[in-house]
Amino acid sequence: MTTSAEPATPLDDATLVSRARDGDVRAYEQLVLRYQGPMFRLAVRMLADRGDAEDVVQEVFLNAWRKLGQLGDDAAFAGWLYRATTNRCLNAIRARKPQADVDLDTAESPRADLQPERAAQVSGQLAALTAALAQLTPEQRACWLLREVHGRSYEEIGEVVGVTATAVRGRIARARAQLAEVMKPWR
């Protein structure tokens, strides 16, 4: 049995959510700090625009605060955020003007923490992947990102995009095949 002092251990989501629902802003702060990064990264990859991604994340957390009372299972907070972020991104893409499609100025700059040669290779691969992601349909991109980057389950992704888990598997497999085709020149 551990004897470490309680406050040193980060509190579990369910505890923070139930406190936040009681109006405890401090508890909600911790949830925002815990999840704003992953939600932002999902939104940036969906939208290819950092400003739009931040807007989405801000709306997601404000709306989540308003609707905490409707969350049935306190431990399901993370899944709830992923769903809200994905849906807002899909809506934002639908609302965009048709020609204003993803402009890839998010292309990676070479990473400083790697050897130059290796960094260039990694950057090249990432740039290729980023460009290839933009060629997927938004729904396919969402499925692929949620699974391969954020590690969510097929069932959960199915609920987000409104199809069965089997259909999600199929979409991700097709997305993977499409992405792999683009990755070819980088080997």
Partner 1 sequence: MAMTDYELPCERDVDQVWQRLDAVGAGLADEHELTCPHCRAARESLLALREATSVLAAEEDVPSPDLFGRIMSAVRAEVRRGSMVPLPTPEPGFVEVSEQAVAAVLRYAADTVDGVRARRCRVRADGEGAIDVELTLAVRWGIATGGAALPMVRERVTAAAAARVGLPLGRLDLVVADVYGEPE
Binding site for partner 1 (CB under 8 A): 1, 3, 5-7, 11-12, 14-15, 18-19, 21-25, 28-29, 32-33, 36-37, 40-41, 44-45, 50, 53-54, 57-58, 61-62, 65-66, 74, 122, 125-126, 128-129, 148-150, 169-170, 173-174, 176-181, 183-184, 186-187
In angstroms, give the least distance from the CB of 99 to partner 1. Answer: 27
Q: Which lies closer to partner 1 via its Cβ, residue 91 or residue 173? A: 173
Q: % helix / strand / coil in the chain, to the nearest 5? A: 75, 0, 25
Q: Which lies closer to partner 1 via its Cβ, residue 104 or residue 183? A: 183
Q: Which lies closer to partner 1 via its Cβ, residue 98 or residue 185? A: 185
Q: Which two tokens stand for residue 175?
A: 């997305």
Burial 69-95 (b: 16+ CB within 10 A, else e): eebeebeebbbbbbbbbbbbbbebbee
Q: Which lies closer to partner 1 via its Cβ, residue 28 or residue 77? A: 28
Backbone φ/ψ region at 115: left (φ over 0), alpha (ψ -120 to 50), beta: beta
Q: Which lies closer to partner 1 via its Cβ, residue 65 or residue 98? A: 65
**DSSP state, residue 49:** -
Backbone φ/ψ region at 162: left (φ over 0), alpha (ψ -120 to 50), beta: left
Q: Which two tokens stand for residue 3?
A: 């004897």
Element (H, E) at 138: helix 138-144
Give how far the C-alpha of residue 33 lies from the chain's centroid of Cα atoms, to the nearest Å: 15
Q: Which lies closer to partner 1 via its Cβ, residue 98 or residue 150? A: 150
